[in-house]
Amino acid sequence: MQFHPYLAFAGNARDAFTQYQEIFGGELVVLTGADTPDGVSADSPADAVLHAALALPDGGLLMGADDPGGTFDGQNRGICVNCAVADTAEATRVYDALAEGGSVQLELGETFFSPAFGMCTDRFGIPWMVNAPAPDAP
């Protein structure tokens, strides 16, 4: 079984996924209201992201969309996207990029379980945990 985060956005999904592609790499596919057959997205603006999928180089998948009802308030409650990276240098790069323009809940630093762990909310309102494995981790 696999789980893939599906993120909600308040009208800025395209900007968010463009930044995520810059940070993580991978292939981005975006479906907008303009890309659907006539009538399918009559309630959505033509530029609204109905589905975005970022296929990551390591086989991971990050997906999301603009809120079709337009009621999303930019608050993601009860979820945090965990980004497990190869080492502390990559943790620093990813954390700094995600935290830029957002807010920091826990500065990236050494913990008892990781040489580099931190928590931030990016400028799009998505909460992240960035984690590098301990040297002796299986």
Residues 6+ apart with CB under 8 A from 79: 5, 127
Q: What is the pLDDT of residue 2?
A: 78
Inter-residue contact 104 to 123 (CB < 8 Å): no
Instruction: Give domain 81-132's CATH architecture.
Output: 2-Layer Sandwich (3.30)
Cβ–Cβ under 8 Å, residues 53 and 81? no
Write down the pLDDT at residue 43.
65
Q: What is the pLDDT of residue 47?
A: 83
What is the reported pTM?
A: 0.88
Distance of CA 15 to the CA centre of its chain: 11
Domain range list for the chain:
6-66, 81-132
| CB-based contact 50:65 (threshold 8 Å) | yes
- Give me the amino acid identity at 50: L
